[in-house]
Chains A and B, each alone.
Chain A
Amino acid sequence: MKRAILLFVALAATLRAAEPVDVLVQGAEKLEVRELIAGLGADVQKVTIGPFSFWLGHVGPHRIAVSLTGQALINCTTATIVGIEEFHPGLIVNQGTSGAQAPYLTLNDIIVGRRALDYDNFVTPVAAPGKGSSPFSWTPVAQRLRDPSSGQLVPHPDGFAGDPGALAVAMRTRNPMGRVFAGVIGSAHEVNLELDRVRWSQRTFGMDVEEMESGHVAAVAHAYRIRYIAFRVVSDAPYEGVPFNPNAARTTALFTLNFLENLPPLASPPLPRPVP
């Protein structure tokens, strides 16, 4: 209970007028934010809110908050809400590692998210005891968000589009360790190494890589009408039998620093968000 009260007070204390940042840059693991924190310069300020840490500094012309979100939906959604409410970013960049879902990808390639979606929502058919389970017969269910202007719940079967301006800058940014492609990023609390199911996900959702956060953060960014882009480095490639390589996290962090250096100041009016 003592811990609960301490965390409660810590979170409640976040209702303050923080200086806004230009870009909220997220990573789920320490290895995914280490290079980013090192790139913030000498005047780094660390802010801890509940269980979440943020490092404030600058990259190029931008004021940056680097956020260590933790893995998967519960962590990343909560961290994103806290990050938005605290730092009011103009752009959110979610970056980190991923598993290849398409055979053309290999270790250290980077996918820039044309769109990101949540792909583990489904309805199964009815099957009696002893009839087994058939994942290829499950019907996907789109993530829904309520549109405050109409009051209606709106399904987003294709997920959420990456910000076109940020996408364009990213596609002109150098990956020091591999190639760069625009693609589709799928999120779920899953690690899929059955190649038939990997192929099914690729064909059903158009996914190039799978990971655990981008689609969820994209939904929250969409709800707030905040510009959003995701970068995912291939850290494992089941078609090639390449096991998870955590050091690939360094690749996407270095790419993200290059992206931030290339990104023009956000002071100009943001580009309109396309309707997914």
Chain B
Amino acid sequence: MKRTFLQLLVLAAAAVIPLRAEPVDLLIVATDDAALQPIIEKMAQPQVETRGAWTFWSGTLSGKSVVLTRSEGDPLNAVAATALAVRLHPPRLIVSFGTARAHDLALRAGDVVVSASFAAFDGMYSPHLGLDEGSRPAQWEKLPHLLMTAGEKETAAESFPADSSALTLALALAPVHGRVVRGVLGSANQVNREADRIEWLRAKWHTSTEDGESAHVAGCAALLGVPVIGFRIVDGPVADGATFTLSFVEAWR
């Protein structure tokens, strides 16, 4: 006789597994080599390990144990590197940094946007249109991510939270150039340069900026229950992100 799904669930034994990971204070997720290099240069004799397509640099910064990885600037690599880093070296906090393009017209080049929250704005749903009726992107609806949560339930998340104490600390830091402001860091593997689409994205997702990975790192962090903070320099310069991140690491306890 065929067993029912429920019977099998009852029969299934829950595994008890020992703790063997190597925790660290901080996981820093940088976009690319240009963003990484100033951090690596400050780390004391970093150890390098590569798993699959992803590389991790382990060392210390300002007396804190740190693992650094590279997101490659897109959601897939960012989530894979973050998930793998959390598994290998569970951090107390994840810091994601890099550059971004402004969705909020009040932002200026050189401003540092600190994440009040994150929005992965790549989800969309288009109503039905027939052949030769074209595409009407202004009528698309947003499609929030559904994060897997305990009990095998998916929970819709229009945005992902940032760690409140890290946010407070970052907002009090001195800017490298421009201003330090709070905002919603948006990400998708997109470069949006149509003004009307940017306005549509901002109306739907309340994004301050867009980049390739910050909200996806935050989504992975939310999935795995690790606090996260993000810094984005509007329109560069790239080096400002590393400088601001090093200031944060110095001040963070």
The reply to whether A144 and B72 form a contact with Cβ atoms under 8 Å apart is yes
Most buried by A among B83, B188, B197: B83
A120 and B196 contact, Cβ closer than 8 Å, known pairs A13-B17, A146-B72: no
Cβ-defined contact, A71 with B154, below 8 A = yes
Residues of B within 8 A of A48 (CB): 14-15
B242 to chain A, nearest CB (A): 20
Least distance between B109 CB and chain A CB atoms (Å): 17
Query: Interface size (B, Cβ < 8 Å)?
Result: 82
With A13-B17, A15-B20 as known contacts, state yes or no: A193 contacts B126, CB within 8 Å: yes
Q: How far is the CB of B76 from chain A (nearest CB, A)?
A: 6
**Bound-complex Cα distance A70 to B90 (A):** 22
Q: How far is the CB of A22 from chain B (nearest CB, A)?
A: 19
- In the bound complex, how far is the Cα of B128 from the Cα of A70, in angstroms? 25
- From B35-43, B58-66, B174-182, B216-224, the one touching the partner chain is B216-224
Tell yes or no: B86 within 8 A of A by CB.
Answer: yes
A11-B87, A75-B147, A223-B52 known; A125-B126 Cβ under 8 A: no
B203: A residues at CB distance < 8 A: none
Closest partner residue, chain B, to A224 (CB atom): B52
A11 touches B197 (CB 8 A): no
Q: Which A residue sits closest to B92, measured CB to CB? A: A8
Instruction: Say which residue of B21, B122, B197 sits within 8 Å of A189 (CB atoms).
Output: B122
- The residues of B that contact A224 with a CB separation of less than 8 Å are 52
Interface string of B111-127 (1 = CB under 8 A from A): 00000000010111111
Q: Restricting to B66-92, which residues have a CB under 8 Å from any CB of A?
A: 72, 74-77, 79-80, 83-84, 86-88, 90
Q: Is the CB of A126 within 8 A of B193?
A: yes
Given that A11-B86, A196-B134 are contacting pairs, would A74 and B195 also be in contact in the complex, using a CB cutoff of 8 Å? no
Measured in the bound complex, the distance between the Cα atoms of B44 and A24 in whole Å is: 39
Please report the number of residue pairs spanning A and B whose Cβ atoms sit closer than 8 angstroms: 263
Q: Is the CB of A53 closer than 8 A to any CB of chain B?
A: yes
Residue from B4, B76, B84, B88 within 8 A of A219 (CB atoms): B76
- Beta-carbon contact of A71 and B131 below 8 Å: no
Chain B CB within 8 A of A94 CB: no
In the complex where A123-B190, A123-B193, A131-B195 touch, is A70 in contact with B154 (Cβ < 8 A)? Answer: yes
A133 touches B128 (CB 8 A): no
Q: Which residues of B contact A147 (CB under 8 A)?
A: 53
Interface residues of B, Cβ cutoff 8 Å to A: 2-5, 8-9, 11-15, 17-21, 23, 50, 52-55, 72, 74-77, 79-80, 83-84, 86-88, 90, 120, 122-138, 143, 145-150, 152, 154, 188-197, 199-200, 216, 219-220, 223-227
Q: Sample 8 A-B pairs with CB under 8 A, ordered by A number.
A: A7-B225, A11-B90, A124-B192, A145-B53, A191-B126, A193-B129, A197-B126, A216-B76
* Further 14 A-B residue pairs, CB within 8 A, beyond A42-B11, A47-B14: A7-B224, A13-B20, A44-B12, A50-B223, A69-B148, A73-B75, A73-B122, A120-B190, A130-B196, A133-B137, A133-B196, A146-B54, A193-B126, A194-B135
